[in-house]
Amino acid sequence: MDNTLFTVNNVWMMICTALVFLMHLGFSLLEIGLTRQKNTINILFKNVFIISIGMVLYAVVGFNLMYPGTFMYGVLPDYFIDLFGIAPPENGLTAEYANGGYTYWTDFLFQGMFAATAATIVSGAVAERIKLGSFMIFTIIYVGVVYPITGSWKWGLGWLDELGFYDFAGSTLVHSVGGWAALVAVWLLGARIGKFNKDGSVGAIPGHNIPLATAGVFILWLGWFGFNGGSVLSADPGKTSMVLVTTCLAAAAGGLTAFLVSLFKYKQYDLSMFLNGILGGLVGITAGADIMSVTDAVIIGSIAGTLIVLGVAFLDKLKLDDPVGAIAVHLICGIWGTLAVGIFGDLAGWEQLGNQAIGIISIGAFCITSAYLIIKTLKVTVGIRVSELEEQEGLDIHEHGMDAYPDFGLNEH
């Protein structure tokens, strides 16, 4: 390949990497905005921990585990001999690597940013009641081992890839992988005090900073330019720009639909639903962003937006307490987006739909099992839930000795 084209491709991929990195800010703001003030420091801590440990873990374990055989350090013993020894293969910085789409280093960094995302998804669902230490242990195992294993099945050219399962940028491989763990964790943790009352009513536990939550969604949407745009794995003009169009239209359609459905259902202009609808549209289009027409994208996004409104209500019925709506966004819309590949776009067909279902089920089974084993083990050993006192007074003061807005006061001039 032309060396200049290789340089362009790599520039695009580095930018996409930066945008996916920024999603961690988006998730942080979204999560703290939709939860209570007394747990803000705790959530921020979890998020900076995830991106930091995620990147180190991906260097030590994940990258090689996910793309076995492709790289120099693909054999286990090497890890122990040469810790942190990731190094490019001979052609890793040339256009011969990865079809000239990017260098080995960009590959590592882009994929590492994705890996960390899976844990971030869980973070929101378990907010306001999980023990920090247990969450950190869970993160290390899930990001370090579980995510790369399911990733290897498809993106590492494993058995799901051979089968014909299609997941362009990770509706299943990233979002559902996070979503399944969120589901298991929420189930094992139980609801926050005050969420589900004995009389069957559902208590509203409002967040503390909706402007920051909204900023988080804008930043996540921006991040998706890189998440989906970068999943082309080159700067191919037609493909990348088409992916951005389907991504943005699905987001817009998801938001608008969630707003309209919730207006119809609850007679309110509900900003939270609009925001989660946008995210649902984004997750929904992720599996097939490169093979959908504009009309397909709008339909997929609209259905995702509808699923958000129904999903949030459905989870409440199941008495599953997900403070930020992560399960509806990432799991339900992740499943929907993956199935949509068999229904709309270039690959639509019964066989494809079957393959999509196999992918969803097999990855779901693996994730549920893994998450259950990790979290259950933590539960029966060190415990996963903070004390009632700590939950009521807030995790910030108990685990961090710190408030989120310690010097904040009201203007009295």
- Interacting positions 257-286 with a copy of itself (CB under 8 A): 259, 268-272, 274-275, 278
Interacting residues with a copy of itself between 159 and 218 (CB under 8 A) = 205-212, 214-215, 217-218
- 42/40 Cα distance (integer angstroms): 5
* Nearest residue to 298 (alpha-carbon basis) of 262, 257, 338, 249: 249
Interacting residues with a copy of itself between 64 and 123 (CB under 8 A) = 83-87, 93-94, 102-106, 108-109, 112
Number of Cβ within 10 Å of residue 58's Cβ equals 26
- Which one of 72, 157, 244, 357 is in contact with a copy of itself (CB under 8 A)? 244
* Nearest residue to 137 (alpha-carbon basis) of 321, 379, 365: 379
Contacts of 16 (CB under 8 A, 6+ apart): 110, 225, 226, 227, 229, 230
Q: Examine residue 346 and tell whether it contacts a copy of itself (CB under 8 A).
A: no
Nearer to a copy of itself, 13 or 160 (CB): 13
What is the nearest approach in angstroms of a copy of itself to the Cβ of residue 332? 20
Number of Cβ within 10 Å of residue 190's Cβ equals 15
* Nearest residue to 344 (alpha-carbon basis) of 309, 302, 305: 302
- Which one of 253, 312, 341, 371 is in contact with a copy of itself (CB under 8 A)? 253
Tokens of 135: 């969450």
Nearer to a copy of itself, 159 or 405 (CB): 405
Output the CA angle 229-235-239, nearest 5 degrees. 60
Interacting residues with a copy of itself between 125 and 144 (CB under 8 A) = 132
What is the nearest approach in angstroms of a copy of itself to the Cβ of residue 193? 14
Please provide the DSSP assignment of 177-237 as one string: HHHHHHHHHHHHH-PPTTTB-TTS-B-----S-HHHHHHHHHHHHHHHHHHHHGGGSS--H
Q: Examine residue 62 and tell whether it contacts a copy of itself (CB under 8 A).
A: no
- Window of 151-159, 188-196, 232-240, 367-375 that interacts with a copy of itself by CB under 8 A: 232-240
The residue whose two tokens read 């122990």 is 80
What is the nearest approach in angstroms of a copy of itself to the Cβ of residue 173? 22
Phi, psi angles (nearest 5°) of residue 385? -115, 140
Half-sphere exposure of 32 toward its Cβ, with a 13 Å CA cutoff?
A: 27
- Window of 170-178, 325-333, 341-349, 400-408 that interacts with a copy of itself by CB under 8 A: 400-408
What is the nearest approach in angstroms of a copy of itself to the Cβ of residue 145? 18
What is the nearest approach in angstroms of a copy of itself to the Cβ of residue 36? 5
CB-based contact 187:371 (threshold 8 Å):
no
Interacting residues with a copy of itself between 286 and 345 (CB under 8 A) = 293-295, 298
- Which one of 78, 316, 346, 403 is in contact with a copy of itself (CB under 8 A)? 403
Nearer to a copy of itself, 106 or 176 (CB): 106
Nearer to a copy of itself, 142 or 153 (CB): 142
